[in-house]
Amino acid sequence: MDPDGEHHAWPTTDESSDDGHDDRLGWMARNAAMPPVLPATSVPDLDGWIETLRSCRPLAEADVERLCERAQLVLAGESNVQPVASPVTICGDIHGQFHDLMELFRMAGPCPDTNFLFMGDYVDRGYHSVETVSLLLALKVRFPRRITILRGNHESRQITQVYGFYDECLRKYGNPRVWACLTDLFDYLPVTALVDGQVFCLHGGLSPSIDSLDHVRALDRLQEVPHEGPMCDLLWSDPDDAPGWGMSARGAGYIFGPDISAAFNHHNGLDFVARAHQMVMTGFEWTHDRNVITIFSAPNYCYRCGNQAAIMEINEHLDNELLQFDPSPRVDIPSQPKHIEIDGASFKSLLTATMKHHKDIFAIRDSGENYGLCKVIYKEFEKRNVDPEEARDLPIFFRALDNRIEPDGMRTTTSHMDPGITEGGQCKKAYFPIGYCITPLLR
């Protein structure tokens, strides 16, 4: 709604571009400065939803749909490089660890008293992804100027079908409609933010296709996260000690060296890049001569990693302070799932048969975190009448897979189901693509 009270509706077919596609990004750019226009949703409704969610209770399905409708209108007015004013508190991955999110709010202060910038990965792996992402969206609709929520690589239809969010939605609602509604909304999340023109915030890292922030602004973000290209890189890449660009063991994005981040920051007039995406034991880690900082806000990641979490507070003078915190004492950790025992010969036979029909999955640059592998192996288990409850327990299955096929001197990416975690619960940092380890079975 403009100052004269006019509603700015979503572009009609008359406003389509010459090639016949809706000019949605153009509309967003033209109207980015306008306050969001919401359908008739009363403040008491939103406050009631927030109160319900703060108690770790999921909203009714119809209320989630209404929330997504309103959140879409708010997010559609934001830029690919969303400007954020200081002071602000920057947060990393949450991954469905709802009670730890509450601990974060207790330490940093509640929204809207504190301005927040979250850098993605709200869902998967933790046990309360539905409540976590719903609360952040409700706060965004209620206080759109006080909280910024970016997209992470797990805000994706494909990834969430494997790493827990899809199954959680089915378990809590009995159908996939809430999952579909929320994953459709993920397409509208901004991919980066810029604090006072000086601190560039995003989930993953830099891209060889992007030299300037204007390149980011020109991206079409209204889509599922691609398997490659600049948008993929922004959500998947990681900093590395080696100079230049390198292939990422994740199967998506790149690794980039200190020279890359220094040149990017200099070219764009940035103080540093803030990103998330990687668990670090202290909750934060400066790299690249303080040109890049990783912030991770899920303590005791996956309820077993033993790491601290951190957030960064930036004041009006762009001074920053890092605050660390431990897991909430209120976290309700479910009992550990049972271990799957699989006969060695049967396992190798099943695995080899699966791989022979799906060699393309194991290209070095595959679809990211090997979600294709998960789905294929699960289907093979179904065909062979393996207990579906066991087959569905992919984290345990993948650790068993890791033990069976890991050759000497190599480390597979199979533990990415609980990334960075060994069978014994220790944390690891680097992996080789699983394709390297599968190859001997195909010869």
* pLDDT tens figures, 134-155: 999 999 999 999 999 999 999 9
Q: What is the mean pLDDT of residues 16-42?
A: 46
CATH 3.60.21.10 matches 43-325: yes
- Cross-strand bridge partners of residue 202: 192
- 269 alpha-carbon distance from chain centroid: 27
Q: Is 130's pLDDT higher than 50?
A: yes
Query: Token pair for residue 264?
Result: 């990017």
Confidence of residue 433 (pLDDT cuts 50, 70, 90): very low
Question: What percent of the chain has pLDDT above 90?
Answer: 62
Confidence of residue 376 (pLDDT cuts 50, 70, 90): low
pLDDT tens digit sequence for 195-246: 999 999 999 999 999 999 999 999 999 999 999 999 999 999 999 999 999 9
Q: Which residues of 353-372 are buried (b: 16+ CB within 10 A; e: fewer)?
A: ebbeebeebbeebbbbbbbb
Q: Which residues of 416-434 are buried (b: 16+ CB within 10 A; e: fewer)?
A: bbbbbbeeeeebeeebbbb
Least confident of 25-29, 97-101, 228-232: 25-29
Sheet holding 147-149, edge to edge: 147-149, 116-118, 88-91, 309-314, 320-325
Query: Token pair for residue 123?
Result: 């869902």
Q: Residue 154 catalytic?
A: yes
Greater pLDDT, 75 or 4: 75
Residue 418: predicted pLDDT:
35
Phi-psi region of 69 (alpha: psi -120 to 50; beta: other; left: phi over 0): alpha
Name the active-site residue from 95, 99, 128, 154.
154
pTM as predicted: 0.71
Residue 41: predicted pLDDT:
57
CA distance 303 to 92: 17
Domain boundaries, the chain: 43-325, 344-442
Contact 80, 220 (CB under 8 A): no
Contact 275, 201 (CB under 8 A): yes
First to last CA, the chain: 64
Question: What percent of the chain has pLDDT above 70?
Answer: 65
Residue 329: predicted pLDDT:
82
> In which residue are the tokens 């890189």 written?
233
Residue 18: predicted pLDDT:
40
CA distance 419 to 395: 10
pLDDT tens digit sequence for 56-92: 999 999 999 999 999 999 999 999 999 999 999 999 9
Cβ-based burial of 157 (10 A; exposed 0-12, middle 13-18, buried ≥19) = middle
Cis preceding linkage at 110, omega within 30: no
Residue 44: predicted pLDDT:
75
